[in-house]
C-alpha cells in the first residue's frame, strides 16, 4: 500500500477486544453463531502458529513464546 493511502474499511485491523463477547452477549448468540465464532478463533490461532513457525524457520526471533 502506498504511503499516505488509507486502508479500505473491509481490511481494517481488528483486535481481540473488537470481537470478544462478554458473558451476557454470549448468551444471546445462537448455537450456530457460537460455533462460527469458535471456528474463526481457532483458525486465527492456527494461522498465528503457522506464521510463528515460518518466522522461526527463517531465523527470525519473536516475543510470541
In a domain, 8, yes or no: no
In a domain, 18, yes or no: no
CA–CA separation, 24 vs 2, rounded Å? 42
DSSP letter string over 8-28? Answer: PGGG----HHHH---HHHHHT
pLDDT at 59: 85
pLDDT at 10: 67
> For 7-22, what is the mean pLDDT?
77
In a domain, 44, yes or no: yes
Report the mean per-residue pLDDT for the chain.
Answer: 82
Residue numbers of the domain that contains 54: 30-58
Q: How many domains does the chain have?
A: 1
pLDDT at 1: 44
Question: Which pLDDT band, with edges at 50, 70 and 90, does 60 fall under?
Answer: confident
In a domain, 45, yes or no: yes
Is residue 62 within 8 Å of residue 52, measured between CB atoms? yes
In a domain, 39, yes or no: yes
> For 23-33, what is the mean pLDDT?
95
Amino acid at each position: 500500500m502506498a504511503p499516505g493511502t488509507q486502508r479500505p474499511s473491509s481490511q481494517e485491523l481488528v483486535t481481540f477486544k473488537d470481537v470478544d463477547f462478554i458473558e451476557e452477549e454470549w448468551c444471546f448468540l445462537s448455537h450456530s453463531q457460537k460455533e462460527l465464532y469458535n471456528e474463526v478463533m481457532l483458525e486465527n490461532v492456527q494461522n498465528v502458529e503457522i506464521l510463528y513457525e515460518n518466522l522461526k524457520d527463517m531465523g527470525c526471533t519473536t516475543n510470541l513464546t
